[in-house]
Structure 1
Amino acid sequence: MSVALAPSRLRADFPGLVTPGGEVWHYLDTGATAQKPQAVIDATVRAMGADYATVHRGVYGRSAEMTLAFEAARRKVAMFLGGAEDEIVFTRGATEAINLVAQTWGLENLRAGDRILLSELEHHSNIVPWQLLQARTGVAIDVCPLTADGKIDLAAAEKILTPAHKLVAFAHVSNVLGSVLHVEHAAALAHNVGAKILIDGCQAVPRLKVDVAALGADFYVFSAHKLYGPTGIGALWARREILDAMPPYQGGGSMIDRVTFARTTYAPPPQRFEAGTPAIVEAIGLGAAIDYVEAIGLDRLHVHEVALARQLREELRRTNAVTVFGPDDAVGVVSFAVEGVHPHDLGTILDEENVAIRAGHHCAQPLMDHLGVPATARASFGLYNDETDIAALLRGIERTKRIFG
């Protein structure tokens, strides 16, 4: 049995968790972006300062050392996801990774008459790139409904899927509801009709142990900043044979083999998809974030965040005039609405209490339409949260209700 986390001790690793006046900041917006531990900050400062040099091109010693560190970060990502090193493409984040797949694999493989299956709970980043592809190719987009408790309805997906479907693109964990997809089942359904499956892992990788081979995914994407790492860096994992067949996404330095004015040949993956000088410092920060999380243990993080989400859901249900959305087994994310109070007003008043939540549509407007609300309030947990954050949130909600009568 894993040892329980001690968030009160871990909080000392995160300099951002205090106010300018030195008070505790109850940060409940990790689903948007995680706070950074000092180990990650230190790694990026060293990489930008004393260790800094370009990668892949310099013949001098520091460049070679930085190249080793940069590629070591790629290796850490590969091991973290259960993939191979040459299957990891560094991107600016999950959004760019999905666009990369849409504009390379999608343009190469999808035509009018083909179909893509999304779900009602997808983030805009897993909707709009496919709509852009639709405008260019004529591919059709279908939408899988949700179960009553807010999970992707895989029984419905099985009925919708046909041999015309070439891609299924689902979120591993909903950024609004915290509901978890049974990826193995979804992958099997996709593969049964000959479709590929792309998984948006942004909310999953900070909370769940991911093994892309065991999951049966074809593409898997995530962003570092939700995994306690820097912004501006993320990764696409794809099966080697799929990457090998994909054309370049952008042209420039690093992604070439030989350039002449008559013809250019391209480097093999992953370099083929990494044109220009890469995000060197950010990649090293991502590697440090993976080291930090793995030292704690994702199994412990999962148990901790499930327990916090369950506790908050139970407390909110006991609170008058509060509606809670999503399943009881939500992972790390709880969305809710207070009757008569717009989520933005709630968020503003909570800020006065040193409590930070998310308020809005969470880049999931189709899901808001499904829920019948313009926006929700969302509390999302990280490894540094505990019951004191929940208590502060509940106090702030009660204060807000008194203000609004």
Structure 2
Amino acid sequence: MIIAFVAFLLLIILLVPMIRWRNQGGEILAPRMVAFFFLIISTVPYLFTISGNNFIIYPLILSKIGLNNLNQSIAYFAFILVIGSLSLLLGLKLPLIEKFTKIPVIARIESGKRYLFAFFVTFGLGFSGYMLFLKQVGGFNSLVTNLNIRTQLTAGNGYLMSLTTTLLMMSVVCYICSFRFKKTFLKYLFLVLLILCVAFILSSFGGRKQTLQLIAFCIIAWHYGVKRFKRIPVKIWLLVPLLLVYIIAVPILRNPAGVDYYMNTPGALIEEIGNNIGKLTQQISYVDNYLLVLNHFSINNIWLGRSFIDLLYAPIPSSIFPNKPPSDEGVYLQTIVQNWYLEVKPSMPFKDLYPSSFPSETLGTMYMNFWIPGIVLGMFLLGIIYKLAYHYMKRSNYNGFSIMVYCFIMLNFHLSNLRITQTLMSIIIIFFFFIVLFPGKKIVR
């Protein structure tokens, strides 16, 4: 009952900034709407689920918290989330410092033909990168039948995977931006096939987030690059049931039984999906991760920023530096929960840690480094960065590059090593290809 009340209270608190924004005439995909939507969808439904079944929490995390302390832990998490949300809102509302508003705008000559050419180039290179990746991991069958060990399977291919996924997403956005100049039925049909193809490739890596990001990229790119939505169209809402099934199905396919078993016995897959519907809210939530962070770290054992030192090693391939620490601090959290060591601390070699991750995002990373002041500072900075990305897109007259930057910032960026590395690499890639594929004089406005 207490947890349900906390969830309901959080829902009201997080909805207020969105409602006020819309009542003031704010657009539907502005930073405040996107940020608070994901805060709600990734926390509130799962908290309601926990209120009905405490044991849905990851067992090792629940054992660390203790069932008797669960209400207190979730109330404390809600307190931290409210502090973080208010700090995020303050960052979004803070007037931008003048010198930061004068980021050079890359104004290029755009046309339907150039966007189509950019699509062919980026998709071709992205698909070629995917073929090279498959060759390095032993082929498509080896990849999809070993999704349960995908972290080990893909080790050493981080740069290639980042280049491949970024180019494939860029190809979809470029194709969508071509609709700004001309729309035909065949283009619409091809767009659907393109999205399905790219979604299949991204899903074959064993994750769900990139495919879900692809759908969000398409919505945002259409909104700012082609035609504004006054409200989310019904056609998009109709995709929700399919996406929910997808979210449930992917972890099932990662089981040791593998894709082969479920492909040969589709009835078993359908049964497993039905059995796991109750876990749906857990699949889209990091609440378990946050509960672990809040339970394990206190003012006495915070890392004081030491995990960010790992960023210095991120550009070095693990093949060159075998003792390279993880680029994802969530690996430390997974190692903590698995009780591999009495003490887990930053810069331990990845090869000595548990080969999986509990992503910590901004809330988790800043708390385990700087405690509550870190939450305030981190979420405040995150709000400023979101606003800068939005402002930059507006100043760029919503060109393809600025839309992609906005998408990557809003949908992937957090103040964690993993998200900082991923987002910076993606922006560098799209910057290079946008400059090459869209020639024209740079204009600073």
Q: TM-score range by the shorter chain?
A: under 0.3
TM-score between the two structures when normalised by the length of structure 2 = 0.26
Structure (1/2) with the larger strand percentage: 1
TM-score between the two structures when normalised by the length of structure 1 = 0.27
Structure (1/2) with the larger helix percentage: 2
